């Protein structure tokens, strides 16, 4: 039965550098093409952790070496760059895989802005590390530009930015129009380019939006049947890596919230994935969230594996 599916790709689906990415997207495309071949309507979102860091570092070094170039490239611009080149590799690899299978479908990357609330409390407590390590001199230069810098586990200083919640996908109508035309859409890369609204103007801000929360919002906006959040394990576990470890197959939103309250999921790894899955599943009785491995996505949709979260 045809489903509308949002797939949130994690870093392991994209590699950590350009050569790895070229290999990774080919394998990723095979798993996505399996779902398309079964007749499902697929929308793809993805992370950009290694990639946006690489771009930020490169722009920073270029600024230091060329006095004509600004020494500070806005993080929103770095996110836009990462969306474009990840999308370029991914859409080409997926298109090639579809052609090899005799499937005639276009694949399009949408450079996507996501509005955040400028009063989000997370702006007052930035915690997301970005960019290179710095010494004392680098710290002073960064702070002179108004950046927040913290000491990082004895390894030096690093810039940290906020991770506000996504409120609005600016290009959502474009995504819907492409879907209605039968296209495979890649959108909300890296959680989206973070912007705030100032009248009719959208201003980029120095922040990183969690890609799983952006994917949940995307899935709700297009009324998807499934949100698949891909991770490094086949299923979610409680009491992880303890003698009482238990892998979860089917749980309700209420059960998932109970497990979160009990502290079963680690912040910065599984917790935001479960939170995003719950957010989507709770938004409608026909909405199902699935957390599993990339290579198990097809089996998961067919009910054979993964952790399913539903409202009831």
Same domain, 68 and 213: yes
81 with 166, same domain? yes
The Cβ of residue 64 has, within 10 Å, a number of other Cβ atoms equal to 12
- Structural domain includes residue 141: no
* DSSP character at residue 171: T
Set 139, 220, 273, 310: catalytic member: 273
User: Which residue, 210, 214, 115, 207, is CA-closest to 159?
Assistant: 207
169 and 24 part of one domain: yes
Question: Do 294 and 195 share a structural domain?
Answer: no
Residue 136 within a domain: no
On whether residue 134 sits in a domain, the answer given is no
In terms of domains, do 167 and 285 share one? no
Q: Judge whether 44 lies within some domain.
A: yes
DSSP state of 46: E
What whole-number distance in Å separates Cα of residue 44 and Cα of residue 46? 7
Q: Does residue 11 sit within a domain?
A: yes
Residues 87 and 193 in one domain: yes
For the segment 192-220, what is each residue's pLDDT rounded down to a tens digit? 999 999 999 999 999 999 999 999 999 99
Residues 6+ apart with CB under 8 A from 254: none
- Shared-domain flag, residues 276 and 201: no
Residue 211 known to be catalytic: yes
Which of residues 174, 204, 224 is at a domain's end?
A: 224
Comparing C-alpha atoms, which of 179, 172, 188 is closest to residue 229?
188
| Residue 148: inside a domain | no
Q: Is 273 a catalytic residue?
A: yes
Which pTM value belongs to this model? 0.91
| Residue 12 bears catalytic tag | yes
| 294 and 176 within one domain | no
Determine the pLDDT at residue 33. 96
Residue 150 lies in a domain: no
Q: Residues 44, 11: one domain?
A: yes
Mean pLDDT, rounded, of the chain: 91
pLDDT in the model for residue 5: 97
Which member of 47, 87, 131, 211 is catalytic? 211
Number of domains in the chain: 2
Q: Check residues 65 and 168 and name the one with the higher pLDDT.
A: 168
- 145 occurs within a structural domain: no
Q: Which of 128, 209, 205 minimizes the C-alpha distance to 169?
A: 209
Range of the domain at 247: 234-311
Domain boundary among 196, 224, 252: 224
pLDDT band at 64 (very low <50, low <70, confident <90, very high): confident
Identify whether residues 291 and 190 lie together within a single domain.
no
Among candidate residues 128, 220, 235, 296, the one labeled active-site is 128
Of 182, 230, 221, whose CA–CA distance to 41 is shortest? Answer: 182
Answer for the pair 220, 281: CB distance below 8 angstroms, yes or no: no
Note whether 71 and 201 are same-domain residues.
yes
Last residue of a domain, one of 193, 224, 255: 224
CATH of the domain at 62: 3.40.1160.10
213 shares a domain with 246:
no
Question: What is the C-alpha separation between 29 and 40, in angstroms, rounded?
Answer: 14
Q: How does pLDDT run across 242-295, given as a tens digit for each residue?
A: 999 999 999 999 999 999 999 999 887 899 999 999 999 999 999 999 999 999
Residue whose token pair is 């938004």: 283
- State percent of the chain over pLDDT 70: 99
């Amino acid at each position: 039965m045809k489903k509308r599916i949002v797939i949130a790709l994690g870093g392991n689906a994209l590699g950590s550098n350009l050569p790895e990415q070229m290999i990774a997207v080919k394998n990723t495309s095979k798993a996505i093409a399996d779902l398309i071949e079964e007749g499902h309507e697929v929308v793809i979102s993805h992370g950009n952790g290694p990639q946006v860091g690489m771009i930020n570092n490169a722009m920073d070094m270029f600024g230091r070496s060329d006095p004509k170039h600004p020494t500070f490239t806005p993080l929103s611009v770095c996110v836009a760059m990462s969306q474009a080149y990840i999308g370029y590799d991914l859409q080409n690899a997926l298109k090639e895989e579809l052609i090899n299978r005799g499937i005639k479908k276009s694949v399009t990357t949408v450079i996507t802005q996501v509005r955040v609330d400028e009063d989000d409390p997370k702006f007052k407590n930035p915690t997301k590390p970005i960019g290179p390590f710095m010494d004392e001199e680098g710290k002073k230069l960064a702070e002179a530009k108004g950046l927040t810098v913290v000491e990082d586990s004895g390894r030096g200083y690093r810039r940290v930015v906020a991770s506000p919640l996504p409120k609005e996908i600016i290009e959502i109508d474009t995504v819907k129009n492409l879907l209605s035309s039968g296209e495979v859409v890649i959108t909300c890369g890296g959680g989206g380019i973070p912007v705030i609204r100032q009248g009719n103007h959208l201003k980029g801000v120095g922040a990183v939006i969690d890609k799983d929360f952006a994917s949940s919002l995307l899935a709700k906006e297009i009324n998807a049947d499934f949100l698949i959040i891909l991770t490094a394990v086949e299923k979610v576990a409680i009491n992880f890596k303890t003698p009482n470890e238990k892998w979860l197959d089917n749980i309700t939103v209420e059960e998932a919230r109970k497990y979160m309250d009990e502290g079963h999921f680690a912040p910065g790894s599984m917790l935001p994935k479960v939170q995003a899955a719950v957010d989507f599943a709770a938004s409608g009785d026909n909405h199902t969230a699935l957390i599993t491995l990339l290579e198990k996505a097809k089996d998961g949709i067919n009910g054979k594996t993964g952790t399913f979260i539903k409202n009831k």
